[in-house]
Homo-oligomer: A and B are copies of this chain.
Amino acid sequence: MEYIKENDYVIIYTSGKKYCIKVVPEKIFTTKTGVIKLSEIIGKPFGIEVNNNFVLKPTIEDIILFGAIRDTQIIYPKDNFFIVSKLDIQHGFKVFECGTGSGALALTLSRAVAPDGMVFTYEKDEKFVKNSKKNIEKFGDINRVKIHFQDIKDGIDEKDFDAAFLDVKEPWEYLDIVYNILKPSAMLGIIVPTVNQISEVIPAMKSKFCDIEIMELFQRYYKLNPYRMRPEDRMVGHTGYLIFGRKIFINDNK
């Protein structure tokens, strides 16, 4: 059993909605169903109910959706989760990412490589560097993430990566540089919002990567009434296209 401590971030789940708040003793949190005095939940177990509100430990999905400050488009959990496993991330891995954005994927990757791996993430917008650092410090382990404030056109400081991910506007411009810092056979993942970008990145990948796949994921939620089972009326129609490929070993001595 885990207990709520002062200054913990917790999720308040109430009438189908979620809020991520910090347990500051002198504060209260008010929902439709009643008031939670935060001083009174300290020392109580996670999962407790207070006036029809439930106090939960934030999961990675809660952090992405309700906790992290987003100052740019994020990679949604459905895509984020798929990427982490598809890239075959394991503890001890050394993972490359560019750009960092709000840090949501870096956070997920850093948990997947823990306790002995490391994520190196590059971002050329200083505002995003600062915000993502804040998010990871708050909800993750900043010792597992090195954020570079750097355009990777100017080089990548590390090499021999076990996996790489690109979330940039023109991924085709970075394929050579990413190729060079990846181990052979390692996975490269890319996300792009438009089909035109797929059309441009695919020809650029073909000589250096094999097992290329292009896909999109949909997530459809259902209403909770068991006597009237049916999907939600609205759904997300598009987040992004995912592209994956594996580095081919090219013998330069040939």
Contact = CB atoms under 8 A, between A and B. Distances in A.
Interface of A: 1-2, 13, 18, 45-49, 54-57, 59-61, 77-78, 80-82, 84-86, 88, 90-92, 108, 111-112, 114-116, 160, 183-187, 193-196, 198-200, 202-203, 210-224, 226-239, 241, 246-249, 251
Contact of A114 (B91, B183, B217, B222): B91
A193 B231 CA distance: 9
Contacts of A239: 233
Contacts of A45: 184-185, 249
Contacts of A84: 81, 85
A108 B86 CA distance: 11
B85 A248 contact: no
14 contacts: A13-B246, A45-B249, A46-B185, A47-B246, A47-B249, A48-B249, A77-B85, A81-B84, A82-B82, A115-B115, A212-B224, A216-B219, A233-B238, A235-B235
Contacts of A81: 81-82, 84-86
A222 B241 contact: yes
A160 B1 contact: yes
Nearest to A204: B226
Given A46-B185, A115-B115, A214 B224 contact: yes
Contact of A226 (B56, B202, B211): B202
A237 B229 contact: no
Contacts of A214: 221-224
A115 B116 contact: yes
A185 B8 CA distance: 14
Given A54-B210, A235-B237, 15 more contacts: A13-B211, A45-B185, A47-B247, A77-B86, A81-B84, A82-B82, A91-B115, A115-B115, A196-B228, A199-B226, A214-B223, A216-B220, A218-B218, A218-B219, A234-B236
Contact of A85 (B56, B80, B185): B80
A249 B215 contact: no
Contacts of A226: 198-200, 202-203
